Chains A and B, each alone.
Chain A
Amino acid sequence: MNTLSDNIVIIDYKMGNLRSVQKAFEHIGTKAVISNDPEVIQNASKLVLPGVGAFKDAMHNLSSLGLIDLLNDEVIRKKKYFLGICLGMQLIASKSYEFGETKGLGWIDAEIVRFDFSAHEHPLKIPHVGWNSASYVNPSPLFEHIPDNSDFYFVHSYFFQGDKRYVSSTTDYGIDFISSVHKENIFATQFHPEKSQTHGLQIIKNFVDLKSDAVC
Chain B
Amino acid sequence: MLKHRIIPCVLLKNWQLVKSVQFGSFRTIGHPTTTVRVYNARNVDELIVLDIDASLNDEPINIEVITDMANECFMPLTIGGGIKTIDDVYSVLNAGADKIAVNSKALTSPSFLNEVATIFGAQCVVASIDIKKIDGQYRVYNKKFGVLDMDPVELAQEYAHQGAGEILLTSVDHEGTAQGYDLELLTLFRDKLPIPIIINGGMGTPTHGTDALACGADALAAAYIFHFTQYTPRMIKEELMQHRYPVRLS
Residue of B5, B71, B191 touching A131 (CB-CB under 8 A): B5
B-binding segment of A18-26, A63-71, A105-113, A208-216: A18-26
Nearest-neighbour CB distance to chain B for A151, whole angstroms, equals: 4
Expressed in whole angstroms, the Cα–Cα distance for A159 and B105 within the complex equals: 31
How many of chain B's residues touch chain A, expressed as a range?
35 or more
* B186 on the A face (CB < 8 A): no
Evaluate contact between A17 and B123: CB separation under 8 angstroms: no
Query: Which residues of chain B are near A29, meaning CB under 8 Å?
Result: none
Evaluate contact between A197 and B98: CB separation under 8 angstroms: no
Expressed in whole angstroms, the Cα–Cα distance for A63 and B121 within the complex equals: 20
Mask, A190-203, CB within 8 Å of B = 1, is 00101111111100
Expressed in whole angstroms, the Cα–Cα distance for A183 and B40 within the complex equals: 33
A16-B120, A16-B121 known; A131+B74 contact, CB < 8 A: no
Evaluate contact between A132 and B1: CB separation under 8 angstroms: yes
Evaluate contact between A131 and B165: CB separation under 8 angstroms: no
Nearest-neighbour CB distance to chain B for A167, whole angstroms, equals: 19
Mask, A114-154, CB within 8 Å of B = 1, is 00000000111111111111000000000000010011010
Which chain A residue shows the least CB distance to B119?
Answer: A53
How many of chain A's residues touch chain B, expressed as a range?
35 or more
Offer 24 A-B interface pairs, CB within 8 angstroms, sorted by A.
Answer: A16-B120, A19-B96, A23-B70, A52-B121, A52-B123, A53-B120, A125-B196, A126-B194, A126-B195, A130-B3, A130-B4, A130-B218, A130-B219, A132-B3, A150-B250, A153-B76, A155-B165, A195-B76, A196-B74, A196-B75, A197-B43, A197-B75, A198-B43, A198-B250
Which residues of A are at the interface with B, using a C-beta cutoff of 8 A?
16-17, 19-20, 23-24, 27, 52-54, 122-133, 147, 150-151, 153, 155-157, 172-173, 192, 194-201
Residue of A127, A156, A194 touching B74 (CB-CB under 8 A): A194
Evaluate contact between B5 and A130: CB separation under 8 angstroms: yes
* B124 on the A face (CB < 8 A): yes
Query: Which residues of chain B are near A124, meaning CB under 8 Å?
Result: 2
